[in-house]
């Protein structure tokens, strides 16, 4: 049994008090949205030729690399932002957009969606979501995305085999698998993972400066605190070969309460769960997240959208919110710090720590959203 760390207890209080509305006669459902962008994709293109991150387009036949490559390609083929993660509701996703998205990839970030309700139509009743951010400091030695992509592949494999395990246990198993995987020479990553059940219970684990928000009625009611060793150095799972070990190397253990936070929450219909990498949280103030959600909710409430069913609204909120968060985050990356008004969280934190940094921090960014719905026993 995992318990939340002391620093999470206060934030979890409103979620713990919520009465669970899901009974034997009804179940929680989840519409999932996904969006991501490499730091080297438009408008921050440093080369006319997209960089091939990690296992993308790898021809190696050694070890497990081909299986990981297949997982990466399948993941990047999911409708990202412009379409919901369902073959039955593809939104504006088409082959042209799919090719353009795969062209630039997710950079050193990666993700996985483990849908455990194989009979679903347009929504899931049981699933795991996870997200990881390859630490760029490895860039001079190895490709940082190898670690984050492999970690998500192994999370997918372990969650698919035993979904009842807590995400903390699954992430620990995934880390152990990466540590013995010859396809990954070295690397490290912060990560966040959650399990969402038909009973409306969220179980999660977070290490580092990726994270999870829960929005209720448009307001953030839960946020995982960033775990760092010092400014711009997150807590992280690592694979460090003996010949690379130095005094500066960091490797945190997922089963260490001082390094990772476990959390459990009761969700309500209409809640929105957001998993993100620091490309979002470093650039977008949390207060703006609530405002963006409200703008989308207002859009979906327009008279032109009155014919949307509740299920369709949940699906549209999921895909639009993920895409808007990534788009807004990319806009914030372009800020110079000379604009009037708000400052990026990274600039604010840098100033607090005595560093001179202005504007946005150009980085990879990945977001997964889950909008909670409710279906009765007789609903299809």
pLDDT tens digits along 222-257: 999 999 999 999 999 999 988 777 766 677 888 888
Residue 161 lies in a domain: yes
pLDDT score for 55: 84
Stated as kind and residue range, the H or E segment containing 211 is strand 211-216
pLDDT score for 334: 96
Tell me the pTM.
Answer: 0.89
Do residues 266 and 200 make contact, with C-beta atoms less than 8 angstroms apart? yes
Select the more confidently predicted residue: 127 or 20.
127
Q: Which residues pair with 188 in a beta bridge?
A: 238
Domain assignment of residue 153, given as a range = 6-376
pLDDT score for 87: 46
The maximal CA–CA distance of the chain, rounded, in angstroms, is 64
How many domains would you assign to the chain?
1
Looking at the predicted structure, is the pLDDT value of residue 27 above 50? yes
Give the range among 36-50, 202-216, 287-301, 348-362 with minimum mean pLDDT: 36-50
pLDDT score for 73: 87
Residue 201 lies in a domain: yes
| Torsion, Cα of 226, 359, 51, 177 (10° steps) | -10
Place of tokens 């207002």: 298
Residue 288 lies in a domain: yes
Give the range among 46-60, 122-136, 266-280 with minimum mean pLDDT: 46-60
State the pLDDT confidence band at 270, using cuts at 50, 70 and 90. very high
Q: How much of the chain exceeds pLDDT 90, in percent? A: 64
Give the range among 90-94, 168-172, 206-210, 288-292 with minimum mean pLDDT: 90-94
User: Residue 311 has which token pair?
Assistant: 């299920």
Residue 56 lies in a domain: yes
> For 212, phi and psi rounded to 5 degrees?
-140, 135
Residue 1 lies in a domain: no
Q: Which residues pair with 375 in a beta bridge?
A: 27
Q: How much of the chain exceeds pLDDT 70, in percent? A: 81
Mean pLDDT of the chain: 86
pLDDT score for 324: 96
Handedness of CA 169, 170, 175, 178 (dihedral sign): positive
CATH code where residue 87 lies: 3.60.40.10
> For 117, phi and psi rounded to 5 degrees?
-110, 80
pLDDT score for 231: 93
């Amino acid at each position: 049994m995992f318990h939340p760390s002391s620093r999470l207890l206060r934030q979890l209080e409103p979620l713990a008090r919520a009465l669970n509305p899901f009974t034997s006669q009804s179940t929680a459902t989840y519409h999932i949205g996904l969006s991501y962008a490499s730091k080297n994709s438009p408008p921050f293109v440093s080369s006319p030729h997209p960089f091939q991150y990690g296992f993308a387009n790898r021809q190696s036949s050694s070890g497990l690399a081909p299986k990981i490559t297949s997982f990466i390609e399948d993941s990047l083929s999911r409708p990202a932002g412009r379409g919901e993660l369902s073959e039955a509701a593809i939104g504006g996703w088409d082959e042209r957009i799919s090719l353009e998205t795969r062209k630039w990839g997710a950079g050193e970030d990666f993700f996985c969606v483990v849908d455990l309700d194989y009979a679903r139509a347009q929504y899931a009743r049981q699933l795991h979501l996870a997200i990881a951010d390859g630490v760029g400091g490895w860039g001079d030695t190895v490709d940082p995305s190898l670690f984050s992509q492999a970690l998500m592949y192994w999370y997918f494999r372990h969650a698919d085999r035993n979904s009842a395990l807590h995400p903390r246990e699954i992430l620990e198993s995934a880390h152990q698998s990466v540590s013995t995987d010859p396809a990954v020479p070295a690397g490290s990553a912060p990560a966040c993972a959650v399990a969402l059940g038909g009973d409306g219970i969220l179980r999660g684990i977070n290490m580092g400066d990726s994270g999870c928000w829960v929005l209720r009625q448009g307001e953030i009611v839960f946020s995982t605190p960033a775990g760092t060793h010092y400014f711009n150095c997150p807590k992280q799972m690592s694979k460090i070969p003996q010949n690379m070990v130095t005094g500066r190397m960091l490797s945190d253990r997922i089963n260490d309460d001082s390094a990772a936070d476990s959390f459990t929450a009761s969700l309500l219909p209409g809640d929105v769960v957001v998993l993100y990498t620091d490309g979002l949280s470093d650039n977008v103030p949390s207060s703006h997240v609530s405002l963006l959600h409200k703008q989308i909710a207002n859009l979906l409430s327009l008279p032109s959208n009155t014919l949307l069913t509740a299920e369709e609204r949940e699906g549209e909120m999921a895909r639009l919110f993920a895409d808007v968060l990534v788009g807004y985050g990319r806009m914030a990356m372009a800020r110079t710090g000379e604009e009037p008004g708000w400052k990026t969280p990274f600039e604010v934190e840098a100033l607090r720590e005595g560093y001179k940094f202005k504007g946005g921090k150009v980085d990879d960014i990945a977001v997964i959203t889950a909008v909670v719905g409710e279906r009765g026993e007789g609903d299809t």
